[in-house]
Amino acid sequence: MEKDSDVLTKYRAVTNKLKKRFLKKPNVSEGSEEFAALAKSLKSQECPQYAGFCCLAQARCEHTLSNSAGEAQALTDAARAFLEAEQMDRELRVPGFQEHLTAAINCYSHAIRVHIENKQIALAASLCLEVGNVLKKMNRPGEAIGHYQRASELQSQVSLSKCLPNMVRLGAKSSEVVVVVVVVELVVVVVVVVVVVVVGLVVVVVVVVVVVVVVVLVVGLVVVIIVVVAVVVGLVVVIIVVVAVVSALDCLSALQKVADCKMETKDYEGALAVLTEMAYLAHERGGSSVTGRPIGAYCDILAKCEITRVLLLLLLQPTPQRIRPEHAQTLEKYTWESFDSLTEMYLGEDLYLLLQSVVMACQSKDLVSLNALQKDLWPLLEPDQNQLLHFVIREHTHPSGDGI
């Protein structure tokens, strides 16, 4: 901070301008601009914590002006400023009570609430993800889980099930419009024929030609209107479907972050439950309208869920009395007697056979085969899955009785 810079005096000067006086209304918009300018100046002087307080004052001004967008943006800026101050303290190893992090989370929560009140669900979900990423980066995966779960809940609100009624309603309206237009066109044609016959009897050929030209123009205009209506309806339907698909993928991405945090905190049963929910959601949203099988990015999501679920089940080793039916069905797909073509489709034949071998090796306690299979699976799995496989082998080598 500069030597001659008296932040407190400037802050008080702006605050005094906003106090209510007799027969004088304070200029709140001017105060908001001055707080924003002061925050910008403090950021340039590397004083993010003071800039955060100025952003909070700006947010209060925007709230007074009923400017929800400006209020949410000011709260977000304040949260990011407090986060920057927290990171500076961590880099300098300054002892403290993490008050800047607490202030940042409170500002994020307030901004999320403002977005939800104004029906801006996507913006609220993005801020939830931002908070979760910050907490996970600061080695707080347990606290990040709640924010990731809230993000997935917000993103699931824009679902295909809510879009389908709109599509049906739009389709019904478009069909009604087409029927009305066709009826009108038929009436116009009949009238034109009658007019042409009558006029042909009483007027000259020139008048008949003029009438025919006018009729052609009218019919052409009707056809153009029909085409425009069909194109608009098609575009609306496509936009609705795209929004639903993107929302489902965002929801699955947030749930994946929840599962990662649960595995990082050694909550393997919770991670297994989240991955099972992801698999159901991917099957429900990602199925082709023709074959019903998952397509595109949903295949990759299902493959990752399937591999991680199998490894978690091998690690937890639930007893027949405690295992859930859907988890028992998952393990049954990897026995000699059964074969699941759908699972093999999105896993690939090689990976499916290797996973099947791992399941049977664990059931038969064949540690030599497990170590050999680990070498074959290592390049095919992701880092967290390789770590789970390592835990599985260690658990079968030195059983602890509680997973790890």
Rg of the chain over Cα atoms, rounded to whole angstroms, equals 32
Inside any domain, residue 239: no
Inside any domain, residue 16: yes
Residue 170, pLDDT > 50, answer no
The CATH number covering residue 52 comes to 1.25.40.10
Inside any domain, residue 218: no
pLDDT, tens only, 296-331? 788 899 999 999 999 999 999 888 888 888 888 888
| Cα(141)–Cα(163) distance, integer angstroms | 34
| CA–CA distances in Å: residue 159 to residues 15, 89, 322 | 45, 42, 33
pLDDT, tens only, 182-221? 345 556 556 655 665 566 676 666 666 777 777 878 887 8
For residue 315, the model assigns a pLDDT of 92
Percent of the chain residues past pLDDT 90, beyond the cut:
49
Phi-psi region of 22 (alpha: psi -120 to 50; beta: other; left: phi over 0): beta
Inside any domain, residue 68: yes
Tokens (6 digits) for 77: 């800026």
62-83: burial string, b at 16+ Cβ within 10 Å, e else? bbeeebeebbbbbbbbbbbbbb
For residue 385, the model assigns a pLDDT of 94
Q: If you average pLDDT over every residue of the chain, what do you get?
A: 82
pLDDT, tens only, 220-279? 788 778 877 766 666 655 455 444 455 788 899 999 999 999 999 999 999 999 999 999
Inside any domain, residue 14: yes
> Domain range for residue 57?
7-119
Number of domains in the chain: 1
Inside any domain, residue 235: no
For residue 160, the model assigns a pLDDT of 41
| CA–CA distances in Å: residue 353 to residues 61, 78, 335 | 63, 53, 10
Report DSSP state, residue 216: H
**Of residues 105 and 250, which shows the higher confidence score?**
105
For residue 166, the model assigns a pLDDT of 42
| Cα(393)–Cα(293) distance, integer angstroms | 33
pLDDT, tens only, 355-383? 999 999 998 888 899 999 999 999 999 99
Inside any domain, residue 48: yes
Residue 402, pLDDT > 60, answer no
Inside any domain, residue 128: no
